């Protein structure tokens, strides 16, 4: 049975959590399965935008507590899951998450590593780990970078779940839509990213991923290298040719 499906539609790749019978809980095989899915879409040259979705009424209920209680998930699992989430976060291609129903614990840890989060109006988001004598993984490092320390610390320390409108207010999600329009909205946003040249998109994401980690001077060095690559790309040359053509056409219309 497929636990994580990889779907491809032209330039759009989709990673879909596929354990709806347990609200897509993260089981013992999740780190290996997810890394395989990430590698597949990241290494496919035809895929330029990645969607992260889930089957059924909930996005992800976190770690599979049944397997955990049975000893099938060992402490090392929690460590092994983190490089997988980091691989999603640092993928050169933009990753857009579509969230419906429960997105808590490990589920929320996954989506905050994505570039964009679109939530359905039935979404429930939270990090209940501290209330359950767990720790919410490296969301302790990642969440404050996304929404600021004040909001992040409250969610992490309280374990409180919040609805989609509150998540939007604090910047945890980019958009809230009706449940029945979630898939269509993801496609619309994906199309916007497909309009951006792949080279500049890749380097812009790389630089923004390092924004909180490198001092300005080192990031400036990275920026200089990135700008050299982007300016030398065929996509940049094409963009400049299009701009010159538009300018020439405007001058002709204006009689200049």
Residue 210 near residue 65, CB atoms below 8 Å: no
Confidence of residue 256 (pLDDT cuts 50, 70, 90): low
* Res 118: pLDDT: 98
- Alpha carbon of residue 241 to chain centroid: 33
* Res 242: pLDDT: 84
CATH 3.40.50.300 describes domain 4-194? no
What DSSP character marks residue 137? T
Residue 86 near residue 49, CB atoms below 8 Å: no
Question: Could you tell me which of 130, 128, 47 has the C-alpha nearest to residue 91?
Answer: 47
The rounded distance, in Å, linking the Cα atoms of 125 and 162 is 5
pLDDT of 9 > 70? The answer is yes
Cα Rg, the chain, nearest whole Å: 20
* Res 1: pLDDT: 54
The rounded distance, in Å, linking the Cα atoms of 24 and 26 is 6
Q: What is the pLDDT of residues 186-230, one digit of tens each?
A: 999 999 999 999 999 999 999 999 988 899 999 999 999 999 999
The rounded distance, in Å, linking the Cα atoms of 256 and 248 is 9
* Res 95: pLDDT: 98
Q: How far is CA 178 from CA 38, 167, 185, in A?
A: 28, 15, 10
pLDDT of 235 > 90? The answer is no
Q: Packing angle between helix 234-254 and helix 198-209, nearest 10 degrees?
A: 120
Q: Tell me the backbone φ, ψ of residue 73, rounded to 5 degrees.
A: -110, 115
**Where in the chain are the domains?**
4-194, 198-254
Contacts of 59 (CB under 8 A, 6+ apart): 17, 24, 53, 98, 99, 100, 101, 102, 103, 107, 111, 123
The rounded distance, in Å, linking the Cα atoms of 167 and 210 is 24
Instruction: Supply 182's token pair.
Output: 């979630």
Q: What is the pLDDT of residues 64-86, one digit of tens each?
A: 999 999 999 999 999 999 999 99
Residue 223 near residue 186, CB atoms below 8 Å: no
pLDDT of 2 > 80? The answer is no
Question: Could you tell me which of 51, 94, 45, 53 has the C-alpha nearest to residue 193?
Answer: 94
Q: What is the pLDDT of residues 148-198, one digit of tens each?
A: 999 999 999 999 999 999 999 999 999 999 999 999 999 999 999 999 999
């Amino acid at each position: 049975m497929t636990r994580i499906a990889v779907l491809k539609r032209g330039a759009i790749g989709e990673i879909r959590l596929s354990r709806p019978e347990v609200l897509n809980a993260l089981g013992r095989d999740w780190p290996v399965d997810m890394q395989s899915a990430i590698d597949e879409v990241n290494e496919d040259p035809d895929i330029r935008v990645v969607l992260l979705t889930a089957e059924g009424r909930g996005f992800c209920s976190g770690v599979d507590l049944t397997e955990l209680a049975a000893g099938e998930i060992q402490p090392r699992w929690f460590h092994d899951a983190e490089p997988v989430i980091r691989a999603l976060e640092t993928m050169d291609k933009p990753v857009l998450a579509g969230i419906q129903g429960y997105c808590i614990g490990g589920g929320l840890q996954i989506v905050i590593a994505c570039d964009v989060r679109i939530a359905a109006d039935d979404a429930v988001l939270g990090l209940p780990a501290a209330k359950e004598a767990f720790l919410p993984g490296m969301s302790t490092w990642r969440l404050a970078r996304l929404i600021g320390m004040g909001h992040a610390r409250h969610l992490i320390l309280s374990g409180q779940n919040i609805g989609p409108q509150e998540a939007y207010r604090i910047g945890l999600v980019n958009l809230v839509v009706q449940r029945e329009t979630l898939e269509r909205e993801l496609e619309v946003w994906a199309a916007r990213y497909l309009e951006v040249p792949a080279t500049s998109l890749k380097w812009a994401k790389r630089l923004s991923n390092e924004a909180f980690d490198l001092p300005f001077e080192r990031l400036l060095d990275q920026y200089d290298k990135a700008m050299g690559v982007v300016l030398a790309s065929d996509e940049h040359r094409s963009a400049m040719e299009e701009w010159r053509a538009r300018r020439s056409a405007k001058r002709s219309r204006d009689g200049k």
